[in-house]
Structure 1
Amino acid sequence: MRYMAAYDMMETLRNTNAWLGATARTMGSYPATALMPLPMFKMLAAWGEVTERSFGRMNVKPDWNLAAIPGDDQLDHPVEVETTVKGDFGDLIHFKVQGRDAMQRRILLVAPMSGHYATLLRSTVTSLLPDADVWITDWHNARDIPVSAGKFDVEDYTLYLVDFMKALGPDINVIAVCQPAPLTLAATALLAEQDPDAQPRTLTLIGGPIDPDAAATDVTDFGRRVTMGQLEHSMIQRVGFLYAGVGRKVYPGLLQLSSFISMNAEKHGQAMRDQIIAVANGTASDHDKHNKFYDEYLSVMDMTAEFYLSTVERIFKGLEIAQNRFVVDGHQVDIGKITSVAVKTVEGGKDDISAPGQCVAALDMLTGLPDDKKASYIEPEAGHYGIFAGGSWRRNIRPLVLDFIDANSGINKPVRRKPKLKAVKAIKDDMPEALDTNGTIAI
């Protein structure tokens, strides 16, 4: 009950701040205040609007809200989100472009389970849809999953990926973004041993901690300093009575968000101050760059306690993937069994979450894979966010990844076409340029 009280207290604080914001916005915008043209009323209303929106977003799962895709037939094709495989802890969803023929490229995006929803990769999806059929892993908020559904740790996550890959067939190309990179590598190796015909054609690992010890960051340093007992005592709480997962042990999204913000507290504080002034001056809008970014950034989800703790203990502390001794469902996975899946790693030169060296370490582990099926790339000026969703991704990394897929998936000629102006605008509008090289979302 002590941990449930802590969970409810955080939710109460969130509700209270949202209510204070709404109250301030209402009081500052009373028509009668126009009789006294004092700047403080505008500032009060602006502070209230920004505060209400910020704390309100923390409890909301964002919509995909994808624009229609221009086709070669000169028509715009709407995008429908449909579920391909449904699971207790996550679904496999497909972005079906209505009225468009099946594409030669078929891509599975493996989204992180690290505090944010899969919609964090919205701009990545948007950039790939004109040239590929795209699926993505849509992980569920742990607070909404009843305790009766059981546990969900790194082994269960890996088995989910195996099932998703089997469902999509061997002509799929997998792109794992950040946190799931080591587990996606393990899932591919498990398929190589147990069901070779279901292996994907290519595997692209973007900014993932395959070997956290290869290059130190604040994340790896924290993992070394803290004990598992300290983590469980300070980070784990039980879901309160408001949600279907009441009693489930989780690493709360609100607690994760406080950690994210503390990593760049000054930058976030300045961004909020600038937005308040913009609202007061009437220069802000509902879909400006600030709101587009923070509507996503502040929307957080709980992750199961066992997944969080097993990730820290087995991936970061125990280095089970890095040392090729990861066990799934009683079976030790051998990364060296991957012999036919082409593997590419992508890293950012300014990535302070998964530093250069951590991801490319995967290639040395692939002892059974020919060198001509291995590739690596480092984007010198890209931060963690920029390597999968910013300008570096759009301009440099995305074309290289698609070329890698084409070269290793049996496609005889490149099918990538230059996006039409409307599609380019949709991609650019979806991601603030200010965050292209030094994104602040920690995955």
Structure 2
Amino acid sequence: MKIFRFFLILIISIQTFAQKVTNGSQGYQVTIATKNLKAQKLLLFMKYGVNNQVVISDSLTIKTNDQKVVFKKNQNLLGVIYFLKLASQPQGIMLALDNGTQASLELYDANVENINCVQSNLNKDFIAYQRLKKTENSSVQLKILRNTLLPKYPKSIVNLYLRIEDKILENAPSTIEEKIKFNHSFFTTIDKSDQRIYLLPNINQYLYAFTISTPVTDDYYKKNIDYVLKGMDCKSRNYQVYARWFLSNLSYFESFNLDLSFNHLFKNYIESNSCKLFSDSELVTFRTKSITNTLLPNYIKLPSISFVDKENKTFSLETSYANYDYTFLAFFSPSCHHCQQTMPIASSTFAALKLKYPNKKIQLITVLNDADESQWQQFIAERKLSGWLNLKSDDPKRKYQSELNAFSNPNFFLVDSKGHIHLKSFNPKAIEEIFLKKI
């Protein structure tokens, strides 16, 4: 339901996008002369969001071996970078479609990268830029070409795309003073409220370059969040793009101990949800994470807690983790759908990590986080967890839930031999990065 709602909002937003410009020719028309491509399907699409979700704008099936096909939109629109590809191909080429664009292309084989632009100097130049980018050692030539194209197309979406490219590819300075100035230059290069950013395919790379232009620490990360989001109207389409990107990037950098940054983002820019950008279930997840971050900041020692196995033998976590480099704790319920999906993945992930890092002593523990034990052992067998130390609580009040904020399922902790918390999630990338660090 969340995904459906998200894409419904996106489609409505794109339609709104297509109605705001009122000057000049309306929409676009892309004519493609094709040969020897009977029964092939051409797709015109956009890529959107943190995960580059594909949103199909139009598709056409070629019916003969010598046919012209036309993609046409009559609405006024802001400029958008579209992708064109054959359905049989994994990749496509980008087309710059500003309001009023008329483009004619030729495609005579089943590789859209060989397309030839015969009308629309803008797209002829843009395709040439993409081809040059794929060649080796082309950075100098690309810079020259960008400098040529930027003044040539001052109002086109290509201008915004290339300005962003310019910043992505710019070498960061070495001193911290210069880094801060470089960091602040990112949003003087572009207007962060420019509505065309919403669907730019290189905005994720731009935000990443912006984030790593200063050290990835809580202090700088919180400043980056404020620099982008502070003062923005949450009704802006870009606000949601930026906020969700920071959420995703904080997960990417989870081994960097950025709990304070997450809490800062949540408290100041998400929790009120005044513009209804986040679902109720998302807010519950974010709030739970924020509470856990406050209760158990990274590197604090895990509370002293004991559990029992199915034979009612007592295991003290403090004693258990002392004999291992790292202990991974997973709190679950057999009826939890997310647990059913995640635990087999966790099991196979750690099996691979043990093979990759044979010198690391890794202990794996599950804790039944449910009063109902009827499916406990069946879940362990079905989810391939028999090699883990599988425990439950013998405390009817389950005091540990308050100590760990483990009221929901699943919950995860990675601790070292001293019981210090290094991670509060199952994040394979972060786990491996932590393994590579010296304790």
Relative to the length of structure 1, the TM-score reads: 0.22
Higher strand share: 2
Structure of higher RCO (CA pairs closer than 8 Å, 6+ residues apart): 1
Relative to the length of structure 2, the TM-score reads: 0.22
